[in-house]
């Protein structure tokens, strides 16, 4: 299966099994029942407990993880949706819902951020080798690449995702050169440690079309 087929299959499965919270699974990182339990299990892991700085995606299913980061006193950074601002990240100050984080947080550029200990990403599907499939926009990969380029993410940075157990697939998922793998997968029932690997060395410009570069100020500035 290619990535679009994986997404369609998982979205359909979640809908059929009633495992997608409002507003539904299709076309997005699915919000799932048990997201809070997955966040709680993740918080028990030594990698989480050792992390002082966390960068998280802005999607709803990872809101419990972002809230746990705030509760645990971690410095939390969130990506601006679609990286559409000149300063594409925000240092979260209050409750880390998307709206409040953007309204109350401090916008920051990559050059203003510290090294990141742990990255939280959303997934549509993930396999037991740590290969993940997102919703198709490629923004998580770009966020990762920007941080790698700035030497804020390295081999010691832990990458995690939280998913419903139905999103965890046993077969191998498709993977491209610009994809990164996750180290930990937290479901509501368990935490899986993967072999990890496959971390792109930075921005792979040949994988980004001109329209996307023009729509992301930080990429457009670097390209110039």
Concatenating the DSSP letter of every residue in 93-159 gives: -S--SHHHHHHHSEEE-GGGPPPPSEEEE--SEEETTS-EE-SSS-HHHHHHHHHHHTTSS-TT-EE
Q: Does the pLDDT value for residue 224 go beyond 70?
A: no
Q: Which pLDDT score is estimated for 35?
A: 98
- What is the token pair recorded at 210? 């001109």
Residue 213 clears pLDDT 70, i.e. is over it = yes
Q: Are 19 and 32 in contact (CB under 8 A)?
A: yes
Distance, CA of 50 to CA of 207 (rounded, Å): 34
| Domain spans in the chain, listed from the N-terminal domain onward | 3-223
Give mean pLDDT, residues 153-170: 96
pLDDT computed for residue 91 by the predictor: 98
Tell me the per-residue pLDDT of 114-149, one tens digit each, with 9 for 90 and over: 999 999 999 999 999 999 999 988 889 999 999 999
Q: Which token pair is 171?
A: 């077969």
- 3-state SS class at 162: strand
pLDDT for the residue 138: 83
Residues 6+ away with beta carbon under 8 Å from 18: none
pLDDT over 90 for what percent of the chain?
79
94: CB partners within 8 A, 6+ apart:
100, 101, 104, 105
Q: What percent of the chain has pLDDT over 70?
A: 100
Q: What does the pLDDT average to over 39-53?
A: 98
Pairing of strands 191-193, 132-133: unpaired
Write down the mean pLDDT value for the chain.
Answer: 94
Mean pLDDT confidence for 215-224:
83
pLDDT digits (tens, 9 = 90+) for 81-108: 888 999 999 999 999 999 999 999 999 9
CATH superfamily of 3-223: NagB/RpiA/CoA transferase-like (3.40.50.10420)
Residue showing tokens 């953007």: 102
- For β-strands 168-169 and 125-127, DSSP reports them as parallel
**What does the pLDDT read at residue 177?**
87
Q: What are phi and psi of 79, to 5 degrees?
A: -75, 140
Cα dihedral across residues 22, 26, 27, 32: positive or negative: positive
Q: Beta strand 191-193 with 158-162: parallel, antiparallel or unpaired?
A: unpaired
Burial of 34 per CB tally in 10 Å (0-12, 13-18, 19+): buried
pLDDT of residue 189: 98
Q: Which two tokens stand for residue 129?
A: 């080798």
Question: What's the average model confidence in pLDDT over 17-31?
Answer: 93
Nearest residue to 181 via CA among 162, 161, 165, 167: 161
């Amino acid at each position: 299966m290619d990535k679009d087929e994986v997404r369609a299959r998982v979205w359909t499965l979640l809908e059929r099994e009633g495992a997608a919270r409002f507003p539904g699974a299709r076309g997005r990182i699915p919000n799932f029942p048990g997201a809070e339990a997955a966040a709680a299990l993740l918080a028990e892991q030594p990698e989480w407990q050792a992390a002082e700085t966390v960068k998280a995606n802005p999607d709803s299913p990872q809101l419990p993880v972002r809230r746990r980061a705030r509760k645990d006193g971690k410095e939390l950074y969130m990506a601006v949706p679609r990286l559409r601002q000149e300063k594409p990240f925000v240092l979260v100050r209050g409750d880390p819902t998307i709206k409040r984080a953007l309204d109350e947080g401090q916008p920051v550029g990559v050059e203003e951020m510290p090294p990141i200990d742990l990255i939280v990403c959303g997934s549509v599907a993930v396999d037991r080798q740590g290969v993940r499939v997102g919703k198709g926009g490629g923004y998580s990969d770009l966020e990762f690449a920007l941080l790698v380029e700035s030497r804020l993410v390295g081999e010691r940075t832990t990458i995690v995702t939280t998913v419903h157990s139905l999103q965890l697939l046993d077969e191998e998922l498709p993977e491209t050169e610009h994809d990164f793998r996750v180290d930990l997968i937290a479901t509501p029932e368990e935490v899986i440690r993967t072999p990890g690997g496959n971390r792109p060395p930075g921005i792979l410009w040949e994988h980004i079309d001109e329209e996307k570069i023009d729509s992301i100020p930080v990429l457009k500035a670097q390209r110039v």
